[in-house]
Structure 1
Amino acid sequence: MNRPRSGFTLVELLVVISIIGVLMGLLLPAVGAVREASRRNQCSTQIKNLSMAAITYENSKGEMPGYVQSFGRYVGGTGAIDPSDPGNGGVGSHMKIGTWAVALLPSLDAQPAYEHWTEDRYPIIHGGGGTTSGATSGESGASFHQLAAPNLAVMQCASNPVSLGEFGKNSYIANTGMSISGTLPSGFTRPSVSFVGSQSRGNGVFNNKYNVNSSLVHVSEGPKFRIDDIKDGAGNTMLFSESVQALPWHRAGFVAATDFTLATATDKDVVFDATASGAGGVLAARFVHGMVWHYADDATGMSGHWNTNGASEDTPCPVQSFWKINGGGTTVSDDIFTLAMNVTNSPNLARPSSAHTDGVNAAMADGGTRFIADSIDYRVYQALLTPRGKSSNVPWPEFVITDDAF
């Protein structure tokens, strides 16, 4: 007598495998979407922490930090020893010129790194021993010491696939106001606004706090900016956003730590000039981890209505694709995940960008966060960066932002 065989037939096994494959195909995108939503929420939390840290700093210091500022001076010299890294000896005298991110370190659970910048006994430069903070893609900056430029989780969006540098990795940028740099389309000129004028309280939040020209004279520092200076509503003014092109958070421009080295231990300053077009100038430092707005508008036939607050009425140029949120070009080399920031293209890439779909996380001056769509009108973007739109240098200062605009 034949006994029935147990188990699956080949056809049944193939059917089961096919069903599992279909289910996996349906579930994997959903799992990926859930993972990205979690990363986006994590990024929103981190950028909120940045805004709260900036508000705390403003409450205690009476002003917002600068995108460039001095945190002290290291005397050093022959025989000097770094107490945090005995192998890093003999470091020369240097200025500790850092960024808004350095100023916020105490509120970001990074007090040890902050002490490297603010206590005289610690150098921020790597002197040949110890550990250095390197850079990639040919960027200078490999002479910063790792302990002055640690990788901080709060400064890195989990979705960002292209954070530059080995140390000091960064995904976030600050509102540095009006751009007066970069190449314009043929036939257009920039309004006659000086570097000092571009830093007015109406044009942006974070400005320059350290500027020494070739005559070793402090010039062109921005005014103190307080939350009370925001007249368009703190919830309508951006403090921070994301950028996949942002340079390491500790680097105040296209500089290496050696650019801050003093000739002698008694010197007080190094040249860091707003008029410098190359590495070392604070003009370029505005862009490396900042977002700016340009004197641009897509409206046509309204040249008589542009208002530059008393300056010549220059017709704004059309809004360029790179200047928009998640802005890039049409070729693979101009994709936002391919582009690398340098001195020449930095004015174009100083805008929010992210790996999130259709927009970026942003932190507002009231401590809240918003997801800003990359499809918003450029006037809305200008309004989000200008704390006092009507007294700013935007082409259309009468534009009033509304809640449904973004």
Structure 2
Amino acid sequence: MLVSQIDCRRSRSGFTLVELLVVIAIIGVLIALLLPAVQQAREAARRMQCTNQQKQLALASHNFHDTYGNLPPGSYGNGNPHNYGRDSWSWYGFILPFIEQNAMYEQLNFEEKINGNATRGGAARKQLLDAMLCPSDDTKIQEEGVTSWQNALHNYVVCYGDANFNSGLAPWNEVDGYAGTAGMFVPERKAGLKDCTDGLSNTLLFSEIITPAAENTWGSLGRTQVAMGAGFTTYLTPNANANDRLNRCHTNLGSNLGAKCTQHSDWDWGANVVAARSWHPGGVNVALTDGSVRFVSETVALNPWRSLGARSDGKVIGEY
């Protein structure tokens, strides 16, 4: 009898299969409830890092301005006497010493075009710079193809105005009949803070773009070292459904976005129309010319968004 009681107690010392299944189900429900919160917390941290990086770029721009009395040119070498065309330098090379990249800067020679030779541009052309990469965009790629034409692709770009990259440079500044006003960066020009008559807090300096999910051969999106890939405009609202218009299209932005690009009929990079885009849910981070950084919703109205891209259109922006 005693042996029977002991055996009975031993047989009830563990969980039954039903009990185990109930426990597993409860754990599964808890994970399902917690996972979105964990993902949101991680994205919030990534967005904060992205905000801080744009803040540093804005401060670097102000330090450059304090040193030289103007911002870097939107491009250098596109006109006479260099005529580099699509291989013109962008603002990126000029600002390197102000983001603690002196070694990169010392390798540059602005009196020769950046591409077309394996040694031109040095590390600045090929090295992915963490300060220029939004952590929410995990592509982090370099272009494929011949070494002398490869560039690393980055997320942070400057505002060329409210139409195309030639905004403010008539007669090349029109998109679908809309005549654009210059932003804080203009091809072959150096703007100063005094040129921002709309107010520094009402004018964009930087925003972000999505780099293509697949490698591209000599594209024109995110090549921040070269003027044709170093900017965005406010002609399209953030994360717009409409296609960018580029002189060389990317093949795939990733996720469900696809190519999101219409190739321009000619090869004038100044005709590029690039929307600010990010993987942050609901909008993009932007740095204003006063050095502040804020998040702008993708539902922002078109008119105030375009006015934010122009430095001197004289329009009252209001809430956005």
TM-score normalised by structure 2 residue count: 0.73
Deviations 1:42-67 (A, max 9, x none): 00111111111111111111111122
Partner of 2:44 in structure 1?
Answer: 37
**Matching residue of 2:182:** 203
SS at match of 2:159: strand
Q: In 1, Cα distance between the equivalents of 2:104 and 2:197?
A: 35
How far is 1:160 from its partner? 1.4
Paired letter, 2:292 = G
The residue number in structure 1 matching 2:217 is none
Greater displacement, 171-180 / 19-28: 171-180
- CA–CA separation in structure 1 for the residues paired with 2:242 and 2:311: 30
Which of 325, 330, 344 does residue 264 from structure 2 map onto? Answer: 344
Give the Å deviation of 1:289.
2.5
1:252 aligns with 2:227: yes
What CA distance in whole angstroms lies between the structure 2 residues aligned with 1:382 and 1:366?
A: 18
CA-to-aligned-CA distance 1:75-134 (integer Å, 9 cap, x gap): xxxxxxxxxxxxxxxxxxxxx8421111111111211111111499x9966756xxx8xx
Distance across 2 between alignment mates of 1:191 and 1:69: 17
Aligned to 1:226: 192
Distance 1:388 1:290, change over 3 A: same
Instruction: Identify which of 98, 104, 113 aligns with 1:113.
Output: 104
Higher mean alpha-carbon deviation, 173-182 vs 44-53, is at 173-182
- Gaps (5+ residues) in structure 1? 71-95, 133-142, 183-189, 210-221, 254-287, 295-322, 391-398
Whichever residue aligns with residue 311 of structure 2, its letter is P
Gaps of 5+ in 2: 78-86, 144-150, 212-220, 244-251
Matched position secondary structure for 1:370:
strand
SS state at 2:142 partner:
coil
Verify: 1:400 aligned to 2:316, yes or no.
Answer: yes
Q: How does 1:6-85 map to 2 (within 5 A)?
A: 6-70=13-77
1:154 paired residue number: 131
Aligned to 1:388: 312
Deviations 1:244-275 (A, max 9, x none): 1432221232xxxxxxxxxxxxxxxxxxxxxx
After superposing the two structures, state which structure 1 stretch, 171-180 or 365-374, moved more.
Answer: 171-180
Which residue of 2 is the match for residue 187 of structure 1?
none
For the residue of structure 2 that corresponds to 1:362, the secondary structure is: strand
Residue 328 of structure 1, CA deviation: 2.2
Does residue 1:243 correspond to 2:209, yes or no?
Answer: yes
- Give the partner amino acid of 1:107: F
Higher helix share: 2
**What residue number does 1:357 align with?**
281
Q: Kindly, what percent of the aligned residue pairs are identical?
A: 29
- TM-score, normalised to structure 1, is 0.59
Quick one: structure 1 residues 227 and 127, their matched pair in 2 at CA, closer, same or farther if it must change by over 3 Å? closer
| 1:175 lines up with 2:159 in the alignment | yes
User: Following superposition of structure 1 onto structure 2, how do residues 324-343 of structure 1 map, counting pairs within 5 Å?
Assistant: 324-329=237-242, 337-339=257-259, 343=263
| 1:177 match: secondary structure | coil
Q: Deviations 1:214-237 (Å, cap 9, x if unpaired)?
A: xxxxxxxx3x41112222221111
Tell me the number of residue pairs that the alignment of Structure 1 and Structure 2 aligns.
Answer: 273
Distance in 2, matches of 1:250 and 1:105, equals 11
3-state SS of the aligned residue for 1:174?
strand
Moved segments of 4+, more than 6 Å: 333-336
